[in-house]
Chains A and B, each alone.
Chain A
Amino acid sequence: MSLLDVRDLTVVFQRRGERPFTAVDKVSFSVEPGQTVGLVGESGCGKSVTSLAIMGLLPRRGNKVTGEVNFDGTDLLKLRPDDLRDRRGRDIGMIFQDPLSSLNPVVPIGIQVAEVLERHRGMDRKAALKEARELLDAVGIPDPNRRLKEYPHQISGGMRQRALIAIALACKPRLLIADEPTTALDVTIQAQILTLLKQLVDETGTALIMITHDLGVVAGLCDTVNVLYGGKVVERAARHELFARPRHPYTHGLLSSVPRLDSPRGERLHAIRGSVADNIPWGEGCAFAPRCDNVVDACLEGTPPLEPTATGGDLRCNNPVSEEVAVP
Chain B
Amino acid sequence: MTESTERTGPLVELRDVKVHFPVKSGVLFDRTVGYVYAVDGVSLSINRGETYGLVGESGCGKSTLGRGLLRLVEPTDGEIVFDGTDVRSLKGESMRKARRRMQMIFQDPLSSLDPRQSVESLLVEGLKAHGLAGDKAATAKRLRDTLAAVGLPASALSKYPHEFSGGQRQRIGIARALVLDPELIVADEPVSALDVSIQAQVLNLLEDIQNDRGLTYLIIAHDLAVVRHIADTVGVMYLGGLVEEASSDDLYREPMHPYTKALMSAVPVPDPQVEDRRERILLAGDLPSPTNPPAGCRFHTRCPWAQPTRCAEERPALREVLDGHRVACHYAEDIAAGRIRPHEVEPELVRPDDGAAPGDTGELIPTP
Contact B266 A261 (CB under 8 A): no
Q: A187-B222, A220-B352, A261-B252 are in contact. List 18 more A-B contacts (CB 8 A).
A: A187-B224, A188-B262, A188-B282, A192-B283, A216-B269, A219-B269, A220-B272, A257-B196, A257-B199, A259-B203, A259-B225, A259-B228, A260-B270, A261-B264, A265-B248, A275-B167, A275-B168, A276-B165
Give complex CA distance A217, B267 in Å: 9
* Contact B282 A195, beta carbon cutoff 8 Å: yes
Flag whether B47 is at the interface (Cβ < 8 A): no
What chain A residues lie within 8 Å of B249 (beta carbons)?
265
Query: Whole-angstrom distance between the alpha carbons of A258 and B226 in the complex?
Result: 8
22 A-B pairs within 8 Å (CB atoms) are namely A42-B195, A186-B58, A187-B222, A187-B263, A188-B57, A188-B263, A188-B282, A191-B283, A192-B282, A198-B352, A217-B268, A220-B268, A220-B276, A243-B270, A258-B199, A259-B229, A261-B224, A261-B264, A262-B365, A271-B198, A275-B166, A276-B195
Considering only CB atoms, which chain A residue lies closest to B273 in the complex?
A240
Would you call A110 an interface residue if the criterion is a C-beta within 8 Å of the partner chain's C-beta atoms? no
B265 interfacial by beta-carbon distance below 8 Å:
yes
Contact B272 A240 (CB under 8 A): yes
What's the least CB distance linking B204 to chain A, in Å?
Answer: 6
Minimum CB–CB distance for B210 against chain A, Å: 13
The chain B residue sitting closest to A194, CB to CB, is B268
Q: How far is the CB of B328 from chain A (nearest CB, A)?
A: 18
Chain A residues whose C-beta falls within 8 Å of the C-beta of B367 in the assembled complex: 262
Asked if residues A275 and B280 are in contact (CB atoms below 8 Å), the reply is no
Footprint of A on B, CB under 8 Å?
57-58, 165-168, 195-201, 203-204, 207, 222, 224-226, 228-230, 248-249, 252, 262-276, 280, 282-283, 285-287, 350, 352, 365, 367
* Cβ contact within 8 Å between A255 and B168: no
- A254-B269 Cα distance, complex, nearest whole Å: 13
Task: Chain B residues near A258: list those with CB within 8 A.
Answer: 196, 199-200, 225, 270
Q: How far is the CB of A273 from the nearest CB of chain B, in Å?
A: 8
A contact residues around B165 at 8 Å (CB): 275-277
CB distance from B5 to the nearest CB of A (A): 26
Given A261-B228, A265-B249, does the pair A187, B266 have CB atoms closer than 8 Å? yes
CB closest residue in chain A, given B205:
A271
Q: How long is the Cα–Cα vector from A258 to B271 in the complex, in angstroms?
A: 11
Most buried by A among B168, B229, B287: B229
Number of interface residues of A (CB under 8 A): 47
Residue in contact with A261 in the complex, picked from B58, B195, B196, B269, CB distance below 8 Å: B269
User: Are the CB atoms of B195 and A213 closer together than 8 Å?
Assistant: yes
B266, A191: Cβ atoms under 8 Å? Answer: yes
**Chain A residue contacts of B230, Cβ below 8 A:** 259
CA A251 – CA B262 in complex, angstroms? 29
Q: In the complex, which residues of chain B have a beta carbon less than 8 angstroms from the beta carbon of A181?
A: none
The 8 closest A-B pairs by CB, nearest first: A216-B268, A259-B229, A220-B275, A271-B200, A257-B200, A191-B266, A186-B57, A215-B270
Inter-chain contact A186/B222, CB cutoff 8 Å: yes
Bound-state CA distance A253–B229 (Å) is 17
Complex contacts, A43 vs chain B, CB 8 Å: 195
A189 at the interface (CB under 8 A from B): yes
Binding site for B on A (CB under 8 A): 42-43, 142, 156, 158-159, 186-192, 194-195, 198, 213-220, 239-240, 243-244, 253-255, 257-262, 265, 268-273, 275-277
Separation of A217 and B58 alpha carbons in the complex (Å): 20
**Chain B contact surface mostly:** helix
Give the residue name and chain of the B residue nearest to A239 (CB).
B272
Is B270 a contact partner of A190 (Cβ separation < 8 A)? no
CA distance A273 to B274 in the complex (A): 28
State whether A219 and B280 are in contact (beta carbons under 8 Å apart), knowing that A188-B262, A275-B167 are contacts in the complex: no
The reply to whether B266 and A254 form a contact with Cβ atoms under 8 Å apart is no
On whether A269 and B269 interact (CB within 8 A), knowing A42-B196, A220-B352, A261-B252, the answer reads no
Is the pair B271, A260 in contact by a Cβ cutoff of 8 Å?
A: yes
A235 to B210, CA, bound (A): 37
A214 to B58, CA, bound (A): 19
Contacts of A195 in B (CB 8 A): 280, 282, 350
User: Contacts of A269 on B, CB cut-off 8 Å?
Assistant: 200, 203-204, 229
Tell me the smallest distance from the CB of B331 to a CB of chain A, in Å.
Answer: 20
For B302, the closest partner residue in chain A by CB is A188
In the complex, are the beta carbons of B282 and A191 less than 8 A apart? yes
CA distance A113 to B283 in the complex (A): 26
A residues near B225, Cβ cutoff 8 Å: 258-261
B203 CB contacts on chain A under 8 angstroms? 259, 269
Complex CA gap A265/B195 in Å reads 21
Name which residue of chain B comes closest to A273, CB basis. B201
Q: Is the CB of B266 within 8 A of A188?
A: yes
Q: Please determine whether B200 and A272 come into contact, CB atoms closer than 8 angstroms.
A: yes
CA A271 to CA B263, docked complex, whole Å:
26
Minimum CB–CB distance from A322 to chain B (whole Å) comes to: 20
A276 CA to B266 CA, complexed, in Å: 30
- Residues in chain B near residue A190, CB distance under 8 A: 266, 268
Which of A42, A218, A275 neighbours the largest number of chain B CB atoms within 10 Å of its CB? A275
Complex CA distance for A95 and B24, rounded to whole angstroms: 37
Distance of A265 Cα from B230 Cα, bound (Å):
8
A187, A190, A243, A262 pick with most chain B CB within 10 angstroms = A262
Q: Is B57 within 8 A of A219, CB to CB? A: no
In the complex, the answer to whether B200 meets A270 with C-beta atoms within 8 Å is: yes
Residues of A within 8 A of B248 (CB): 265
Are A187 and B57 in contact (CB-based, < 8 A)? Answer: yes
Q: A272 to nearest B CB, angstroms? A: 4
Please indicate the chain A residues that have their CB under 8 angstroms from the CB of B200 in the complex. Answer: 257-259, 269-272
Q: With A and B bound together, what is the CA distance between A269 and B365 in angstroms? A: 21
Specify the chain A residue showing the minimal Cβ separation from B248: A265
Q: How far is the CB of A4 from chain B (nearest CB, A)?
A: 23
Query: Which of B195, B201, B204, B248 counts the most A-chain CB atoms under 10 A from its CB?
Result: B195
Q: Which residues of chain B are within 8 angstroms of A262 by Cβ–Cβ distance?
A: 269, 271, 274, 365, 367
